[in-house]
Structure 1
């Protein structure tokens, strides 16, 4: 059972919706009516039950049925796992979770055959942040409601450190990009810098300049869709290999965008122990860098 100190008053379904924002109202109603929720030690099956601010709510962990997500035996590099979280090193070319534009198996399909994930959404259980399909590197996923809530809060409060390494066009220095990002009004599959967009902040530091290219470390304060790729393209230094926001290249240097989630640091959601994970550059980005160095 998952213990939740609500600290909130009102209808049980609305309190749970506020505590677990990624759960749909329908899913919350289903969980309550199936007897998976207790308030102050008593099982409650009415979504409209009134909760007091000092109430202790317990939600039984529920695994999604296999007809929603079919497990698969796709190999996954699990960097760390305990009863609360799982940290993975995602390869490029693998989408995180199912979506209308995604064909085939995803990281979530592979993980549910190996471990439990917090059932916060029918197609993206445990997902607290995402990586683009063709971005590689570190991700943390929640295994319980409590850890999910805690990790989302750390991200919202900008306490989770997320660093990336990218190979970009041009000679880069260092700086901060603080411009809002929103969905393109003319192409809904793309993001762009928009005055009415959501706040997006990226700090970047040049690690090495190689001719007309640079190796850059990026730390993001916010996690908007395609944030790093959009921000770097905005300042004139698109990621090498980026087929959406990049520039045409005379020859293909790499088969995907040269962007890797290299560091992930946060407090353990249960013990509050500081955790700091690092991932080396994958072979394709290492090969790209060596190729560029040979050309100088």
Structure 2
């Protein structure tokens, strides 16, 4: 019998809400937990809540000058004080100093990052890649114990791409992406779901710290292949919108020849890929500026070894 993979006990855990200042479920919960952190306490640890982008939260916007959740790469974290220009770069530096430094032995053991999307992503669990053993075991635990809805797993990291999200300053992390929810709006159903998933995830850490053996398993996950832009006119303006047959079909199969865009004159533009894909973040409001109409993913089965804490 193969010995389980072992990792140290998780003692320092952080929970971030408001990395984007108009995604309200995480903001609401983080503000509540800052005032009353009792829900974040377990026998073996207590989690520290914080607000990711306070100025953006005050203004009710995604960010002030640049997307904070794209600012935790070496390009920005290694800047000297005199070179830090935008507010979000300064904030990334501060978060990295408090909860990191990224890649160091002093970094927090785990960080949760709470998000909403305008896309029909449901209760999505976002992990860097399939190589993140602890987060993947957490996802497996959540899928088995949170039964109110399916919880698809989404790997956002492309091959060779550096991690750049806020939870990458910790040794391990996961983002919750719940939708659809309009920007700047709270929905009670999604708020309750986020709260329940967080409770389930914290229970997993507590059980891990107490020495529970988590057996090997296989699991489906969606791995990013590429990010698809809207059709555009020569001047760069969008020339077609997401097709009605694709809208709200996040994580459902998209086959070659299926319509993906529709022009103002009603002309359908078809998916020309050779293989079935599984779109995500379809028609996400915040991705218009990033020139992303949807993210093309492949759905694959991944095998993970058993896990237990070091003794």
Of the two structures, which has the highest relative contact order with CA contacts closer than 8 Å and spacing of 6 or more? 2
TM-score range, shorter chain: under 0.3
- Normalised by the length of structure 1, the TM-score is 0.22
More helix by share: 2
- Normalised by the length of structure 2, the TM-score is 0.22
